[in-house]
Structures are given as C-alpha cells and as structure tokens.
Amino acid sequence: MPGRDDPTAAGSAARQQLPLTELATWRAAPDRADPIARLEEQAKTRLPNLVPIRHARMAVSPFTYFRGAALPMTADLASLPRSGLDVQLCGDAHLSNFGLFASPERDLVFDVNDFDETLRGPFEWDVRRLAASLVVAARSRAFDDHAGRHAVHRMGRSYRTRMAEYATMRAIDVYYTDVDVAGTLSFVNKRARPFLEQTAHRAQRHDALHELPKLTELDDQGRRRIMDHPPVITHIEEATTDRIEAALADYRATLQEDRRVLFDRYRLVDAALKVVGVGSVGLAAFALLLMRGENDPLFLQFKEAEASVLERYLGPSPEPSPGARVVAGQRRLQATSDILLGWATGPLGRHWYVRQLQDQKGGAVIDAMTPEDLTTWGELCGWALARGHARSGEPAEIAAYLGSDATFEHALADFASAYADQNERDHAALVAAIDSGRIAAEPGA
C-alpha cells in the first residue's frame, strides 16, 4: 500500500492527471489487436478438447462473449490513461462474478466470487468492466438504453458513496465490514427485493449434502461415484489416485492448522473433470468427492490457475505461483473467504487453487432480471467492489479522486455504452470466425 502522507491530496492530484471526464472515453486504437486472435492465443494453453466448448459458450450472445473476453478488454483498458490509484483488482469484475455465499459463521454475504485474474492495478479497470457488463446485460434482456445507463449510474453512485464512507473509517473497521444479505434486504428497492430473496433462498439450499444425490450415484458395488455427463463432467485416465493424492497433500500444507484437522477427517472417494463457467473453460477443473460417512460429504473444486491476463500489462505477480496469486487476491478482497481455500502444484506441474465446490452459493440469473433487479444487483456489486478496493488500497485517495458529485457516474455510463458497442462488434467477429471454420465450436455446449 502506498505510504503517502496526504491521501486526499494524492487523490486530487490523480484527478488532475486523469480527469473524471476522461473515464468516459473509449476509442479503439488503430493498431488494436484482433480479439479473435487473442482467443486463439489463449487456446494454446488449454485442454484442446474443451476449447470448442469455450468458443460455443462465448458465441451464444454478446453477454456470454463478454464473460469470456477478459483478455481482449484488459488489452483495451491497458491502452487508456491510468489514474495511478492501485488496489487489488478482481481482474474480471463483471456482474456474474459477484454473488452470495455463506461465511464461516453461516451468514449469507454478498461479495466478489471469482479471482482467476486478480492482480494489483488501477482501480478503474474493475469499475469500467463492471459498468460495461451492466449495459451488455441490459441489452441482452432487450431493455432500453435508459435502463442500462441507469443501472450504471446507480452502480457508480454506490461505489463512490461507499468509498467516501470507508475513507472516514479506521482501517481495521474497514477490514471488518461486509455486505451481509440481512442488511441489504432493507437497502434494496422494494420491487427488486423478491429477486434477491429468491437468490438467497437458492444459495441456502446449495450445500454438499444437498448436491450429493445430484452429482453422484452408487455404482454396482455400492460405492459412491460422481456421475459422468459428457462433455461437461467426465472421468479421465490422467487423473490417477496417486496424482490426486499428491496434489491434495500439497494443498493441505497451505491450510491453517485447525483447518487441516477438519480436512483430515475426510477421505478421497472420487474425482472427475468438471467444465465450469465461460472464460475459464479449457483450463482443467476437477470436482473431488471426499466423505466421512454416507451423510457427511465434502466437495472440493481443484481449478487450474495460469498467469493473470493483467500480468501482460501490469507486470508479474509477486506470489510464488498462479494458485497462490488467486488465493492471496481472494483473501485481500473478500470480507470472508472459504475456510478450505488453498492452492497446490500438481505432480505434472500444473498450478491449482482449491475451494469448496458447493457451500451455499448463489449468483445472478441474468435471464430472470427485470430492470429494477439489474439496477439493484449493480448497486450491490458497486458496494462490494468498493469495500474490497478499500481493504486493499487507500480509500481516502480514491474518494478524493471521485469527488462528491455525479461526474463519475456520467462518465462510466458513457464508457459502458461505447464499450458495449465494441463488444457487440467483437461478438459478431467470433460468430463469423466460427461460421467460416477459422475456429471450432461444439454445438450444444
């Protein structure tokens, strides 16, 4: 964290360097790289049989394309002037990467929930990606332009006013704050409250015991096994018991001592490759079933970690491995993290981060949102993002930079609308590349 004597002055100086009105600007550079070429580049380090699934999922709509296009947008953001106000970035802060999950005290909280690209960098990169995702999502729901811009305005105001609040607090008090669901229900618009209540209800039902009959079955010998659903869930020969046990041993060493005691109560039963998300498809991700008796299951997710796409433009991570980078970023940004969060390096040299697969998690169902739901979700995202940035950066600097009027919100809305146009052009280019046979996509993926 920068040791500046006067953070307010530093924020004001940053505003002189990059005026708020400049945050509205998006113009593609004349030498902008072909976004499809960037996707082809990423495919080189991914499992070849899964890459067509990734392309097919991204091609479904401009919004699914946006979810998978963290690298193209990071390259675009890197071409723009920077504020110089650095925080721990989520790195892929679109609205589907926020959601509900249970704290260790089993209270539901709202927070960032994806950290594959996390790295330290300029705070506005996260905010701009979040803003653009709101407009892209609004268009995917056929909302009018006003609805998308309104959602961005409210998100920006939420971020700005929460940051101003954190700027007045003691650092340790900022650390202890969270965005708890009980408190948010009284905060949200009355018309949007049912959407959040339903999301919370779904999250509370999703735990390992609830998922056991959905994800597993008994084989002919009465042993519990994860069910295959090709190509999304499959058992692969490379995932031998010896290799998995070796990775588990490496992971165990990254846990706190008391959590090792908990982990040691379970034994490995089965493991299967499980395709997840959109942007991360092609990276190896395994669902591991561990059990301590028939009614005491534990699902772990081993997810492959690579260098963040941000490292190309912001320099390498100081963490010892990509998995450690993801875990460190998650702990810095989240109010409370999974008690079994850890990382490992497997026997084949792949890097992993590890968390519980199902532990009362709930996300945004974009296809079910009304304009009011989208606005409310955006406000909560802005709140959670401000809290994470305030924990990992200097909130007084950012608050001074943002000021006390709506200039920031107006600039974000202009940028988001312009970048949503760019995203639609890039999505069309992906569809054309699939139609021409340039890249492969798996139908029905």
Task: Indicate the helix (H) or strand (E) that contains 225.
Answer: strand 224-226
Contact in structure between 419 and 149 (CB atoms under 8 Å): no
pLDDT value at residue 396: 96
Question: What does the pLDDT average to over 181-198?
Answer: 64
Structure tokens at 339: 């008690």
pLDDT value at residue 315: 97
pLDDT value at residue 2: 46
3-state secondary structure of 356: strand
Nearest to 380 by CA among 172, 151, 166: 151
Token look-up 């959602």 returns 151
Instruction: Look at residue 140 and tell me whether its pLDDT is greater than 80.
Output: yes
The whole-angstrom separation of Cα 121 and Cα 131 is 17
C-alpha gyration radius of the chain? 22
Greatest mean pLDDT among 50-59, 118-127, 297-306, 354-363 lies in 118-127
Each residue's pLDDT tens digit, 268-327: 999 999 988 788 888 989 999 999 988 899 999 999 999 999 999 999 999 999 999 999
Of the given ranges (103-117, 137-151, 366-380), which has the lowest mean pLDDT?
103-117
pLDDT value at residue 183: 67
pLDDT value at residue 1: 42
For 167-186, b/e burial (b = at least 16 CB within 10 A) is beeeeeebeeebbebeebee
The whole-angstrom separation of Cα 340 and Cα 263 is 8
Q: Which is higher by pLDDT, 254 or 182?
A: 254
Helices and strands counted in the chain (H then E) = 18, 13
pLDDT value at residue 206: 59
| Upstream peptide bond of 231 is cis (omega within 30 degrees of 0) | yes
pLDDT band at 174 (very low <50, low <70, confident <90, very high): very high
The whole-angstrom separation of Cα 308 and Cα 117 is 4
pLDDT band at 359 (very low <50, low <70, confident <90, very high): low
Task: Indicate the helix (H) or strand (E) that contains 302.
Answer: strand 297-304
Each residue's pLDDT tens digit, 21-63: 999 999 998 999 999 999 999 999 898 989 999 999 999 999 9
Contact in structure between 305 and 329 (CB atoms under 8 Å): no
Using the 8-state DSSP alphabet, how is residue 346 labeled?
A: -
pLDDT band at 368 (very low <50, low <70, confident <90, very high): confident
pLDDT value at residue 190: 64
Question: What does the pLDDT average to over 187-201?
Answer: 63
For the chain, the distance separating the N- and C-terminal CA atoms, rounded to the nearest angstrom, is 43
Nearest to 419 by CA among 83, 87, 137: 137
Return all residues near 145 (Cβ < 8 A) that are at least 6 apart: 417
What percent of the chain stands above pLDDT 70?
89
Each residue's pLDDT tens digit, 202-234: 655 556 666 788 888 988 888 899 999 988 899
Question: What does the pLDDT average to over 64-73?
Answer: 96
pLDDT value at residue 442: 86
Question: What does the pLDDT average to over 160-184?
Answer: 88
Instruction: Look at residue 165 and tell me whether its pLDDT is greater than 90.
Output: yes
The whole-angstrom separation of Cα 181 and Cα 207 is 18
Contact in structure between 155 and 416 (CB atoms under 8 Å): no
Each residue's pLDDT tens digit, 389-417: 999 999 999 999 999 999 999 999 999 99
pLDDT band at 158 (very low <50, low <70, confident <90, very high): very high
Q: Which is higher by pLDDT, 178 or 105?
A: 178
pLDDT value at residue 275: 86
The amino acid present at 133, given as its one-letter code, is: S
pLDDT value at residue 362: 62
Q: What is the mean pLDDT of the chain?
A: 90
pLDDT value at residue 263: 97
